A = this chain, B = another copy of it.
Amino acid sequence: MSRKNNRSLKEKFSLKNSLVKEALSEFLGTFIMIALGCGCVGQAVLSRGVHGGPMTVSVGFAMAVTIAVYVSGGVSGGHINPAVSLAMCVTGRLKWTKLPIYILAQFLGAFVGAAAVFGIYYNAFMEYSDGKLEVTGPNATAQIFATYPAPYLSLVNGFADQVMSTAVLLLAVFAILDTKNKSVPKGLEPIAIGLLIIVLTCSLGMNSGCAMNPARDLGPRLFTAVAGWGMEVFTAGNNWWWVPVVAPLLGGVLGAMTYVIFIEIHHSDPQPGEENDVHTKYELTNMA
Query: Chain A interface (Cβ within 8 Å of chain B)?
Result: 1-3, 6, 9-10, 13-16, 18, 21-22, 24-25, 27-28, 32, 35-40, 42-43, 46-47, 50-61, 63-64, 66-67, 69-75, 77-79, 88, 90-95, 116, 119-124, 126-127, 150, 152-154, 157, 160-161, 164-165, 168, 171-173, 175-178, 180-196, 198-200, 202-207, 258-263, 265-266, 275, 277, 279-280, 283-284, 286-288
From B1, B43, B57, B182, contact of A70 by CB (8 A): B182
Closest-CB distance, A272 to chain B (whole angstroms):
17
**A261 vs B6: C-alpha distance in the bound complex, in angstroms?**
10
- The residues of B that contact A152 with a CB separation of less than 8 Å are 123-124, 126-127
| Pick from B59, B173, B204, B207: contact of A202, CB under 8 Å | B59
> Which B residues touch A261, using CB under 8 A?
13
- Which B-chain residue is minimally distant from A199 (CB atoms)? B63
Q: Quick one: given A67-B195, A187-B183, A188-B185, are A77 and B203 in contact (CB under 8 Å)?
A: no
Which residues of chain B come closer than 8 Å to A119, judged between CB atoms? 160, 164
Let me know if B13 and A265 touch, CB within 8 A. yes
Q: Across the interface, which residues of B come within 8 angstroms of A194, CB to CB?
A: 195
A43 pairs with B122, CB closer than 8 A: no
Q: Which of B9, B77, B199, B275 contacts A283 (CB 8 A)?
A: B77
A202 touches B79 (CB 8 A): no
Chain A binding surface SS class: helix
As for how many copies of this chain the complex holds, the number is 4
Shortest C-beta distance, A193 to chain B (Å), equals: 8
Give me 8 other A-B pairs in contact (C-beta within 8 A), A59-B199, A67-B196 excluded. Answer: A35-B164, A39-B203, A42-B206, A70-B192, A116-B164, A120-B207, A177-B286, A185-B188
Q: Given known contacts A24-B262, A177-B287, A184-B70, is B153 in contact with A202 (CB within 8 Å)?
A: no
A6 touches which one: B92, B193, B203 (CB < 8 A)? B92
Query: Which residues from chain B contact A150 at a C-beta distance below 8 Å?
Result: 123-124
Residues of B within 8 A of A123 (CB): 150, 152-154, 157, 207
In the bound complex, do residue A183 and residue B74 qualify as a contact, i.e. CB atoms below 8 Å apart? yes
Give min CB distance, A38 to chain B, whole Å.
Answer: 8
Instruction: Check if A94 sits within 8 Å of B283, measured CB to CB.
Output: yes
Give Cα A193–Cα B63 distance, bound, in whole angstroms: 11
- A36: chain B residues within 8 A (beta carbon): 168, 199-200, 203-204
Docked pose: A266 CA to B25 CA in angstroms = 10
* B-side contacts of A3, CB under 8 Å: 92
* Most chain B beta carbons < 10 A, residue from A59, A91, A152, A266: A266
A162 to chain B, nearest CB (A): 10
